[in-house]
Amino acid sequence: MDYIYLGNSGLKVPKYILGTIPFSGTNGFEPTGNIDAEAARRHVDICLDAGINMFDTANLYSKGDAERVLGEAIKGRRDKVLLTSKTGFDLGEDPNAGGASRINIETSIDRTLERLGTDYLDIYFVHLWDGHTPVEETIETMNDLIKSGKIRYWGVSNYSGWALARTYTIAEQRGLIPPITQQIYYTPEAREAEYELLPAGSELGVGSMIWSPLGEGLLNGKIDRNNEAPSGTRQGEGWPEPWVKDDERLYDVIDALKEVAENRNATVPQIALAWIKDRPNVGPVVIAARNEEQLRENIASYDIRLTQKEHDRIESVARPEPYYPLWHRAMNSIDKGSPSEIPYLEGYKKSMELE
């Protein structure tokens, strides 16, 4: 497993990170999995043996129970792992138990640390954009947590491009520590992050950490235009996410992944992960698994190197539309683009030439 610097920081992280949304599977998260502490410890063992020493969770997952299970799984080896968690989603009826306010962040971090059985996090994320809380308040609170030793770095998740840029810029202007990473949704089918978020991350020095690269179970290899999601899976149990604009487009992506997978004697999830990890501007990728077999399969995808032809076969199926000003820039000024966005501009130009 390769290690990469996360954003403009000195923190080196594995290219694959284990996500813990399947841990516990309680409090409305039953469709995501039901990994108990004993099984979670084996998952941690498998990851550490593969060189994956970073584990991602959130107070949202099973409303804190996933953090408890992860805490049990890493007990006695905190010094061997990197831990991340998140806060922001409303939990309970307390009007202050959500968002990016000082009161929520400071309350949440203490509860998270207690559940994990540790006195610090390596990265703490704001899980969603809070347009009612001043950005300055969020930045100052996260910097206070760094100074107190409760967190080492901080990040954001599910922000728009302008919100990310505003947060980073205000932090810099005030001489404060900006976020070093963003967690964003990005798959071979869901490519919206290419418009702003992926280039913005690279230009600002904010590492782009990908969550749910298998589309929250859509790209598990069991779904296609002739087969609905089976029971016992997230999509088969009524999980509301993600939003899919065009089912046929999704099935076309799955067809392309299957084609490449069959030629390589691999699985659809493995090819999807292999494609994501090598895309421009992509940092670490958060993988997850409901059982040990899936975990080993996902980890094995790291050794797959797609040919340019295979990569292009998958890329061309769901290339984002060149919305203005992107079509204008792709048509007239690709050479003036920043290095982080030129690969996408070139793709838009190909799409326009085919129409």
The one-character DSSP state at 33 is -
Q: Which two tokens stand for residue 298?
A: 């996902």
Distance of CA 170 to the CA centre of its chain: 24
Give the helix/strand (H/E) hosting 157: strand 151-157
61 given a catalytic annotation = yes
User: HEC states along 276-334?
Assistant: HHCCCCCCCEEECCCCHHHHHHHHHHHHCCCCHHHHHHHHHHCCCCCCCCHHHHHHHCH
Beta bridge partners of 40: none
Nearest-angstrom CA–CA distance, 137 and 159: 16
Nearest residue to 3 (alpha-carbon basis) of 47, 44, 54, 42:
54
204: CB partners within 8 A, 6+ apart:
8, 164, 165, 168, 178
203: CB partners within 8 A, 6+ apart:
338, 340
Nearest-angstrom CA–CA distance, 185 and 71: 25
Nearest-angstrom CA–CA distance, 88 and 129: 8
Nearest residue to 214 (alpha-carbon basis) of 238, 190, 231:
190
Number of H helices, E strands in the chain: 12, 10
Say if strands 12-14 and 3-5 run parallel, antiparallel, or are unpaired: antiparallel
* Catalytic option among 3, 5, 16, 61: 61
Q: Are 21 and 32 in contact (CB under 8 A)?
A: yes
Catalytic sites, residue numbers: 61
